[in-house]
Amino acid sequence: MQPETRRYTATQLVTFTKSLFEAAGFDEEKARTTAEILVEADLMGHTTHGLALAPEYLDELEAGAMSRTGAPVVVEDRGATLVWDGLRLPGVWLTARALALACHRARQFGICAVAIRNSHHIACLAAYLLRATEQGLMAIIASSDPSVASVAPFGGTRPVFTPNPLAAGIPTAGDPILIDTSASITTNGLSARLREEGRRYPGLWAVDAQGTPTDDPNVLVADPPGTILPAGGMDHGHKGYALALLVEALTQGLGGFGRAEQPSQWGASVFVQVLDPAAFAGLAAFTAETEWIASACRNSAPLPGVRAVRLPGQAALARRRAALAEGVQLYPGILAGLEKWAAKFGIPLPAGR
């Protein structure tokens, strides 16, 4: 589908979304941070994990499934490593707060990692990364939802994992490398969008309950349900399977809360790590290496039909620059999904540019 023709400034969208969350009971910091990260996802073009999530978050708040107020409980703090109990607070705010703390402590210890258990959903992982790379720091973020199973282990038909995304922001001498991938071949968000729009996957990205490969996202909600395939699909899905296990260990294992506890509410287990290159061989040495490999990739002769070799995050940063300069074109239906909340709280929809 084509985006809506009206364009909005990032400031308009953040102000509007922040007002909705404040009206729903968030304090100013939680509302602002959540709005900023959701809008950042749309700036980068991650339209299933940006403002499209705001109605669902507001639904969760109204149902009491997401906490409005409070702060995480520190379960363990050894300086360079921490565990938080998120108390079902907004995952976007928790993750941004953990990243800010990890950036600060990485300056002291060289490295800092925070595991968050019992968090709510954390939206788009790539949307956090510039907060670290703009400081010359490298960040790694991983997330899983122990209450959901939609991805089977390689060779299986019964879902065990969520898509289990893993992101990394890597500073270079120029634009950072922004990795945002998952252990599955696609996401639950895109699968839901395709179902709603009556569309199919562009390839055999799922299997039904009998293990038959299919391009039909409806198998995920069948009885019995099918499963999204691990990254690599039917041929090399062992690679995505291995990545899923790593993410489970980083998020649920280190946080000490996950599938073993059988939680029933939509949420997240989160892992945030920041590394300060200055504490290793130095930032200049780090970026000399990362810029060399980035340049080598960009200068690699492209395959027939490929315009140029791109780096992870290159297209997202280009979309972000264009959106900041020309305005954001939202995916169809995103603002419509917020109309009821705007009307309920008496907040006008953004007028656009």
Are 250 and 109 within one domain?
yes
**Same domain for 256 and 163:** yes
pLDDT at 5: 77
Answer whether 183's CB lies under 8 Å from 163's CB: yes
Over 90: is that where the pLDDT of 125 sits? yes
End-to-end Cα distance, the chain:
22
Give me the pLDDT at residue 158, please: 95
pLDDT at 353: 76
Residue 218 lies in a domain: yes
Domain count, the chain: 3
**Residues whose CB is less than 8 angstroms from the CB of residue 169 and which lie 6 or more positions away in sequence, other chains included:** 128, 129, 130, 132, 133, 137, 138, 139, 176, 177, 178, 179
Going by pLDDT thresholds of 50, 70 and 90, the confidence category of residue 176 is very high
- Which band of pLDDT confidence, cut at 50, 70 and 90, is reported for residue 137? very high
Taking 90 as the threshold, does the pLDDT of residue 71 lie above it? yes
Give me the mean pLDDT over the 216-234 stretch. 96
| Residue range(s) defining the domain that contains residue 206 | 186-228
What HEC string does 254-323 produce? Answer: HHCCCHHHCCCCCCEEEEEEEECHHHCCCHHHHHHHHHHHHHHHHCCCCCCCCCCCCCCCHHHHHHHHHH
CATH number at residue 191: 3.30.60.50
Same domain, 64 and 152: no
Mean pLDDT along residues 155-173: 97
261 is a domain residue: yes
pLDDT for residue 6 is more than 70? yes
Give the rounded percent of residues in the chain with a pLDDT score beyond 90: 97
Collapsing DSSP to helix, strand or coil, 177 comes out as strand
| Per-residue model confidence as pLDDT tens digits over 319-341 | 999 999 999 999 999 999 999 99
State the average pLDDT for the chain.
Answer: 97
Check whether residue 78 and residue 60 sit in a common domain.
no
Q: Is 214 helix (H, G, I), strand (E, B) or coil?
A: strand
- Residue 323 has what pLDDT? 97
**Claim to verify: residue 82 and residue 222 sit in the same structural domain:** no
pLDDT band at 198 (very low <50, low <70, confident <90, very high): very high
Asked whether residue 2 carries a pLDDT value surpassing 70, the answer given is no
pLDDT single digits (tens) 84-108? 999 999 999 999 999 999 999 999 9
pLDDT at residue 18 greater than cutoff 80 = yes
Radius of gyration of the chain (CA): 20
96 lies in some domain:
yes
Instruction: Answer yes or no: do 93 and 173 share one domain.
Output: yes
Residue 16 has pLDDT above 60, yes or no: yes
pLDDT attached to residue 127: 98
β-strand 111-119 against 213-214: which pairing, if any? Answer: unpaired
How would you label 78-117 residue by residue, b for 16+ Cβ within 10 Å and e otherwise?
eeebbbbbbbbbbbbbbbbbbbbbbbebbeebebbbbbbb
Helices of type H across the chain = 10-23, 28-44, 54-63, 91-109, 126-133, 188-196, 233-248, 254-255, 283-298, 314-326, 339-345
> Do 76 and 65 lie in a common domain?
no
Q: Do 95 and 159 reside in the same domain of the chain?
A: yes
DSSP result, 322-347: HHHHH-B-PPTTTTGGGHHHHHHHT-
Q: Is residue 304 part of a domain?
A: no
**pLDDT of amino acid 4:** 67
The contacts of residue 66 (CB under 8 Å, 6+ apart) are 57, 60, 88, 89, 90, 120
pLDDT of 128 reads 98
Quick: pLDDT tens for 39-61.
999 999 999 999 999 999 999 99
Q: What is the pLDDT of residue 186?
A: 96
Q: Taking residues 235-261, what's their average pLDDT?
A: 98
Polymer length in residues for the chain: 353
For residue 27, give Cα distances in angstroms to 10, 11, 14, 33. 21, 19, 15, 10
Cα distance between residue 154 and residue 240, in whole Å: 8
